[in-house]
Amino acid sequence: MLVNERLVQKINQMAENFNISVDIHIEAKCPLNRNIGGKYNAGEQSITLYLEEIQAQSEWLFPNEDVFVEYASVIFAHEAGHATDPYLQKLVELYDSTEDEFKRKKIELLVEVQAWKIAKELVQELPDEFFSKIKRISLEHHYEAVSQGFKDEGVA
């Protein structure tokens, strides 16, 4: 079975097992010219995975390991975490109504942490070290932004 067929099968299985009702799209490259492996669109109720970015990320984080399907599964699980997050809409509303940039960064971090929390439940069969490494790298810039905000406010 080809890698992309295995990926589609895995994602469909995850969506079915966890009753995730969103449209799932797989594209070659992110049109935003950003290094993101996936995106959840709340308005369209869709998840899009970007294969080139996922491939590049998996090769960077796990060189010389053939983990593309597993890595893509984690990315899908994270986006599914957004799609199934019961607090996402309230957090988005809070974000949109907040002008304070530091508070917005904290809300962004909360949105991402919540999606990762849900994602872990979707990929329990994967090794914790594998999942945690992807999560840590993904959240790194959010933690740095919040940390910088504390410094700017003289808290840290």
Instruction: Reply yes or no on whether the pLDDT at 126 is more than 80.
Output: yes
Find how far residue 43's CA is from the centre of its chain.
17
Strands 46-50 and 38-41: antiparallel
Instruction: Over range 10-14, report the average pLDDT.
Output: 92
Query: Which of the residue ranges 21-30, 31-40, 92-101, 105-114 would you say has the lowest mean pLDDT?
Result: 31-40
- For tokens 């949109």, the residue is 96
Instruction: Over range 131-150, report the average pLDDT.
Output: 89
Instruction: Over range 118-135, report the average pLDDT.
Output: 96
Q: Where is 39: in which H helix or E strand?
A: strand 38-41
Strand-pairing partners, residue 25, are: 48
The Cα 112–Cα 98 span in angstroms is 18
Nearest-5° Cα angle at 114, 112 to 115:
65
**Per-residue model confidence as pLDDT tens digits over 52-83:** 999 999 999 999 999 999 999 999 999 999 99
127 to each of 28, 50, 149, how far by Cα in Å? 27, 23, 33
